[in-house]
Structure 1
Amino acid sequence: MKKVLYIWLVRFFAAWWGKKEPTLVVYLMSFGNNNEFIVKLGQKCSREGKQLVVLFYPSCSGAANDLAAAGIKTVSFTEGLHFLFSGLRFVVAAKLLFCDNYYAFLAGCQFKRQKTRVVQVWHANGAVKSFGWQEPKTQLRSAAAQKRFQAVYDQFDDYVIASPKMGEIFSESYDVDKKKMLTLGYPRSDKFLRAEWITQKRRRFYQVNPALKGKEVILYAPTYRESTTGVTLELPEDFFQLVGRLASNQVLIIKLHPHLKNISQLIRTRLAKSKQVLWMDDFTTEDLLPVTDRLITDYSSVAFDYTLLDNAQEILFYCYDLHEYQNQVGLQHDFEQWLPGPLVLTTAELAQTLKKPLLRQDFRQFNQLWNTRNDGQATARIIKHYFG
């Protein structure tokens, strides 16, 4: 009932704020991983005499501060009553609205359809998990909730994607027309193909960690699991013995999802005595990818980024809870067919795989499927498409 009332209030305030002609370019930010695109977007807006406003979740404060330093107007927001009196006015004043996620309040927005274009620039480059109508939990929700979900999906005029494969998933998951899919490439992928960015990340990493030169860097970057009390990550007990099986020239960097801060501390405590396990708080996952020799992940989208890099050698999919995750969260039905590396179901199997010599895997087929238009020019194409 509360959500129904909230959407009704959004509809009322959106109509109030929306009396003027839309003129702004607005970016809704829930992930702080697309700053380079936003800066280029801001520069284009300045040249065109338009104003860009970035509305960001508090979790993206760091990225927002960098944007503000670049001269871009930023406004913090969380969905709730305060948003109705503050942030919503920017949203309904948008002539061009970029969204990096699903935003529930969009169900109540009454855009002037001939004057406002709503664009989905998804925060991930591909999909292992299911979402939308393909997510098992969605089918268990009430008819009213399902109606709200579809109202949000239908708000998007365009879905910016990198591959026909992702277009098929969006079309099926959100029950929207395939004609809405624009295969322009993901702007946040451009940096992974830019030599200057890669060199800068490697230089900084080895300046801070000179002892790691010549070491085999293994990055473990799992996603979180949802539970009745929030998000969690329950690693198998024998995972904590894995570090004792690493070769002397190997180091394991563990980089958990930002939602797992509390869990991170517990795992650190368990592994505190191991000199081969490193925690690098001053580096993001993206910062670490250019120095990673072996990537261990699970259902995270990090694999879609890693395979774009020239140093990408091996990916292991450590899915110790595969069947449970598949039933509760859901996975793409064909994911085992296109995984660009071995599916590892036990810690023992993972340890055995890490003992094998590092051999470069061939990611060409995977990239043709998922990174079709991720060629380093996505930002330029998107800006040209919307600004000419």
Structure 2
Amino acid sequence: MKKIYLLLVRLARLAFGAKKAQYQVAYFMSFAGNETFIRELVKQFGSDEVLIVYKTNVKENVLQLQQGHIIKHAIEFKKFQVTSFVKGIKLARVTLFDNYYPELSAINKTKKDYFIQMWHANGAIKAFGWEDPSTYHRSVEDQQRFQRVYDSFDQIVVGSEKMADVFQRSWHVASDKIDRIGYPRTDKYFEESWIEKARKKIQTKLPELTQKRVILYAPTYRKDVSFSLPDDWRKIKVPQDAVLIVRLHPHLANVERQIVDASPDRVIMVDHFISTQELLCVADTLITDYSSIAFDFSLLDNARSVIFFTYDLEEFERTVGIQASFKAAFLNQMVNTVEQLNDAILFGNSDKNVIHKLNQQWNTLNDGHSSARLIKQVKERCTDE
């Protein structure tokens, strides 16, 4: 099936031939949260020069951008709809991606094609690419296909030397492909107006949180793996002056409800019309496991503590893998039982050592101006052509 699908991608590429670019930039969107960058793209290039090629899971976010008259041109890339994918690439001078797209292994790049990988995470705790344990159990043909995707990128944008090292190891790419200009998705965490708007939105919609200490539990999404908490989760203790918000991936909304129903008092869920990024702006404590959300949270002035609740560490390492350097740096901050988690919640409220370490290692190039730097490079590339 994969061979047939990728053959169709190649044929679609040939069918479009040397079609002239109609847009300066195409942005391939599979994750929400980078709308600030998209707005800046449109501001700098004009709405007629920017094309959004989006996956169905972010359709609502794209509709909001369209309704707000931010973007004019968008193509939905549904599963196996190869013409949409190829069309997006052929119609733009520069193409930006926020994820791994297997279709790129079947795209024979020309000199006119220029691909930039922006990724969807500011740092890495989970292993991926060649550091994913499952990669070495795949066929040589699969491994070669993976590498063709990695090699297709002309630039890979990062927010730290630490993340540059991760990409070099995980994707086997040369250092000169790494674009050390900061991570555009973090710019909003330096923007006081955006932060204040997020806080006012929550205060208006959820005034009961105003006088509470907000603890946010946001574990990573486990693709193709069912999510379940440890048996002793019912023993979680939320302080009287606090509320613990459970926020899972949108695909796990039903599980989110089940967790809250099986939890003691002061454990709640919040409707997803308030984004996870907005919730970060009012939380003083983040509980996560292997999610890159920790790197984003550490940039906010309200961040007081990050707790890594890694009750399934051994199993996760075996099936998904985590970055060895991250484990070495933060092993002492990982808690494995609900009893340990309760202690961390109670006594770790003012401990900013983890926050400092996260920023020191993973946010060194992020300063709120990464989007401007990247857009400047894209402009130069378009002008050179």
Instruction: Work out whether the TM-score is over 0.5.
Output: yes
In the alignment, which residue of structure 2 is the partner of 1:294? 285
Residue number among 89, 104, 124 corresponding to 1:106 in the alignment = 104
**CA offset at residue 111 of structure 1?**
2.3
Q: What amino acid maps onto 1:57 in structure 2?
A: K
Whether the 8 Å CA contact 1:224–1:232 is kept in 2: the answer is no
- Offset from partner CA, 1:200-237 (integer Å, 9 cap, x none): 111121222223223211100001334xxx33211011
- Give the whole-Å Cα distance in 1 for the aligned partners of 2:39 and 2:331: 32
Whether the 8 Å CA contact 1:232–1:263 is kept in 2: the answer is no
Q: Secondary structure at the match of 2:225?
A: strand
Q: What amino acid maps onto 2:270 in structure 1?
A: M
- Give the whole-Å Cα distance in 2 for the aligned partners of 1:240 and 1:75: 45
CA 1:145–1:304: 2 relative to 1, 3 Å: same
Q: What amino acid maps onto 2:106 in structure 1?
A: G
- Offset from partner CA, 1:158-204 (integer Å, 9 cap, x none): 00111111111111111111110011111110111111111111112
Residue number among 363, 372, 379 corresponding to 1:387 in the alignment = 379
Q: Which consecutive unaligned segments of at least 5 residues does structure 1 have? A: none
Q: Secondary structure at the match of 1:235?
A: coil
- Offset from partner CA, 1:38-73 (integer Å, 9 cap, x none): 1211222228xx621101111101210122231331
- Give the whole-Å Cα distance in 1 for the aligned partners of 2:269 and 2:210: 17
Q: What amino acid maps onto 1:44 in structure 2?
A: Q
CA 1:367–1:357: 2 relative to 1, 3 Å: closer
In the alignment, which residue of structure 2 is the partner of 1:45? 45
CA 1:386–1:137: 2 relative to 1, 3 Å: same
1:338 aligns with 2:336: no
In the alignment, which residue of structure 2 is the partner of 1:54? 52
CA 1:340–1:308: 2 relative to 1, 3 Å: farther
- Give the whole-Å Cα distance in 2 for the aligned partners of 1:340 and 1:186: 26
CA 1:343–1:115: 2 relative to 1, 3 Å: same
CA 1:144–1:232: 2 relative to 1, 3 Å: same
Q: Secondary structure at the match of 1:238?
A: helix
Runs of 4+ residues deviating >6 angstroms: none
1:116 aligns with 2:108: no
- Give the whole-Å Cα distance in 2 for the aligned partners of 1:269 and 1:298: 21
- Give the whole-Å Cα distance in 1 for the aligned partners of 2:302 and 2:331: 15
Residue number among 223, 234, 248 corresponding to 1:256 in the alignment = 248
Q: Secondary structure at the match of 1:380?
A: helix
List aligned pairs for 1:361-372, cutoff 5 A.
361-362=352-353, 363-372=355-364
- Give the whole-Å Cα distance in 2 for the aligned partners of 1:173 and 1:256: 26
**CA offset at residue 368 of structure 1?**
2.6
In the alignment, which residue of structure 1 is the partner of 2:150? 153
List aligned pairs for 1:222-233, cutoff 5 A.
222-226=219-223, 230-233=224-227
Q: Secondary structure at the match of 1:317?
A: strand
In the alignment, which residue of structure 2 is the partner of 1:3? 2
**CA offset at residue 37 of structure 1?**
0.5
In the alignment, which residue of structure 1 is the partner of 2:383? none
State which drifts further: 262-271 or 173-182: 262-271
- Offset from partner CA, 1:3-62 (integer Å, 9 cap, x none): 012112211210221322334311110001111111211222228xx6211011111012
- Give the whole-Å Cα distance in 2 for the aligned partners of 1:76 and 1:283: 24
- Give the whole-Å Cα distance in 2 for the aligned partners of 1:102 and 1:140: 19
Whether the 8 Å CA contact 2:76–2:84 is kept in 1: the answer is no
- Offset from partner CA, 1:62-121 (integer Å, 9 cap, x none): 2101222313311111231xx233442222222100000000111111221x21210000
Whether the 8 Å CA contact 1:231–1:259 is kept in 2: the answer is no
**What is the count of residue pairs matched by the alignment?**
375
Q: What amino acid maps onto 2:132 in structure 1?
A: E
Q: Structure 2 length normalisation: TM-score?
A: 0.93
List aligned pairs for 1:1-388, cutoff 5 A.
2-24=1-23, 25-46=25-46, 51-69=49-67, 70-80=70-80, 83-112=81-110, 114-226=111-223, 230-242=224-236, 245-271=237-263, 274-281=264-271, 282-339=273-330, 342-356=333-347, 358-362=349-353, 363-388=355-380
Whether the 8 Å CA contact 2:288–2:309 is kept in 1: the answer is yes
- Offset from partner CA, 1:118-155 (integer Å, 9 cap, x none): 00001110000000011000100111111111111111
- Give the whole-Å Cα distance in 2 for the aligned partners of 1:58 and 1:156: 24
Q: What amino acid maps onto 1:178 in structure 2?
A: S
Percent pairwise identity: 37
Whether the 8 Å CA contact 2:257–2:269 is kept in 1: the answer is no
CA 1:134–1:12: 2 relative to 1, 3 Å: same
